[in-house]
Homo-oligomer: A and B are copies of this chain.
Amino acid sequence: MFVTIVFVPARSSHPVSRRDRPAKPPLTREGITAVAVGLLRAEGLDRVTMRRLARELDTGPASLYVYFDNMAELHGAVLDRLLARVDLRPGALAGGWRARLIELLAAYTELLYAHPSLARSVLTLRPSGPNYMRLADTVLVLLRTGGVPAGQAAWGMNLLLHVATATAAEHGTRRESASAGVAEEEPWREVSAGEYPGIAWASGELFTGGVQRLRWAFDVLIAGIAVTGITPRPPP
């Protein structure tokens, strides 16, 4: 469904036939992002490099810098395109404000779980695409519905999305480097109560929880956000 635009050299008096070149879609921000998302789904973010993406688009890497200042910006566009598939409006969710909020955050986290390296990139991004802003807005609306004051809601929204992103970055990577899992737990399981009393005390629950742990984290955050006032700014 691409419009093919073929460059016609000035010295030629008739258009180049379609046969002479394979159809090549014109470069646009959206087109590049779409191809990047395809590459992400097919091979993971590690392969969504400027060079590889350029090859996929049948051009040189320099061409992409016409549309994106750098790779971080490209990743931001990729995130927003992925978010377009999630219905982020408060009305799309069921239950009370708290249940809907957790549902929403879980949907966002699930999206990033599938692409942990994107989550790692997003963590340092301050996304500002329309779909991310819809997500942030919905979180804020739900917190307001729950009677949370604006200041706590503002800081809390950032904290909630931050934890969601960071958890996806952390968890997902672990899954990527799969086999090491048990070996990583070992130094924590073998400690003596004399040397590490706290670890020995808590060791039974140190590696439990799995996915439920994330929902617990959201519960913790929402409970804390609702009751913890932000530091009042100094009066003017």
Contact = CB atoms under 8 A, between A and B. Distances in A.
A150 B120 contact: no
A58 interface: no
Contacts of A227: 223
A217 interface: yes
A128 interface: yes
A205 B159 contact: no
A212 B155 CA distance: 11
A137 B170 contact: no
A163 to B, nearest CB: 6
Contacts of A213: 155
Interface string A121-165: 001101010000110111111011000001101111111001101
Given A120-B124, A220-B221, A205 B155 contact: yes
A151 to B, nearest CB: 4
Contact of A140 (B128, B150, B184, B202): B202
A211 to B, nearest CB: 10
A7 to B, nearest CB: 34
Contact of A222 (B144, B169, B224): B224
A95 interface: no
A201 B123 contact: no
Contacts of A228: 216, 219-220, 223
B221 A150 contact: no
Interface string A195-236: 011110111111011001101110111111101101101000
B133 A199 contact: yes
Contacts of A32: none
A191 interface: yes
B159 A217 contact: yes
B206 A154 contact: yes
7 contacts: A136-B199, A150-B205, A151-B205, A209-B230, A220-B221, A220-B224, A224-B224
